[in-house]
Structure 1
Amino acid sequence: MTTAPGQVPVAPQVPRHPLDPEPVRATKARAVFALGLMAAVTGLFVGGIVPAAVALQLSRQARREAYASGGFLTGAAWLRRGERLAWTGLVLAAVTLVTVVVIGVVQLAEAPFGHDYPSTVD
């Protein structure tokens, strides 16, 4: 049923059972977001690996719990944001590690090979 052209159709509300719990935001969703943010901030210093791994593990648990709750646990947007930030932290840490390895290999390649004896030694 629509009330005027251009408006969104109005769906009738299904009455809830009085014993149904109220929908509530999952506490793990907030923790995943905080850990993902910490991972993204410290990703360049390679310290973001640990919070990113914990955030990704918690997000898997939170998704399973939200599915099992039948819609009474909310916070999927916070989970998505936290997962994205965690992956960003992992990518930043990987970029840092690759950069350090490349710099190390280049410096090792520029180092003189063998012994560098003084000019007085035959």
Structure 2
Amino acid sequence: MMEGMTIAPGQVPVAPHGARHPLDPDPVRSSKARAVFALGLMGALTGLFVGGVVPATLALVLARQARREAYASGGFLTGAAWLRRGERLAWAGLVLVAAVVVAALVIGLVRSAGTPFGHDYAPNVD
């Protein structure tokens, strides 16, 4: 531990990290994580207008690719928090789309149940 450095009660000292290899890349935020968040946000905002299904689906597909790339990078790609938020927003957008579609179907069925089936003839026609 360094001289003159005090540690508050309950705090755990941080172990010094080993020296990085000079050829190791610097950790960088994944650009796909930002795209997933942006698409997820668009999906959530436009979920009430059934068009939200397109950006939400793209966000989920891109999130899968971003997770695969982050795993393969060995920790040099960051942005997992943005990725999680984007996925949650995308799923929220898809839930909103599903709710709108179900509501439209129910309203359509109720309206069609109230109308008579077939042709309605005048009372004096046999």
TM-score by structure 2 length?
Answer: 0.91
- Cα distance, 1:9 vs. partner? 2.4
C-alpha deviations, 1:67-103, integer Å up to 9, x for none? 0000000000000000000000000000000000000
- Partner in structure 2 of residue 109 of structure 1: 113
- Partner in structure 2 of residue 85 of structure 1: 89
One-letter code aligned to 1:23: P
- Cα distance, 1:5 vs. partner? 2.1
Corresponding residue to 1:61 among 48, 58, 65: 65
Q: Percent identity?
A: 75
Corresponding residue to 1:11 among 7, 11, 15: 15
In structure 2, C-alpha distance between the alignment counterparts of 1:3 and 1:41, rounded to whole Å: 46
Count of residue correspondences = 122
Runs of 4+ deviating beyond 3 Å: 1-4
In structure 1, C-alpha distance between the alignment counterparts of 2:67 and 2:117, rounded to whole Å: 55
- Partner in structure 1 of residue 75 of structure 2: 71
Counterpart check, 1:28 vs 2:16: no
- Partner in structure 1 of residue 43 of structure 2: 39
- Cα distance, 1:4 vs. partner? 4.1
TM-score by structure 1 length?
Answer: 0.93
In structure 2, C-alpha distance between the alignment counterparts of 1:38 and 1:94, rounded to whole Å: 16
Q: Output the aligned Cα RMSD.
A: 1.4
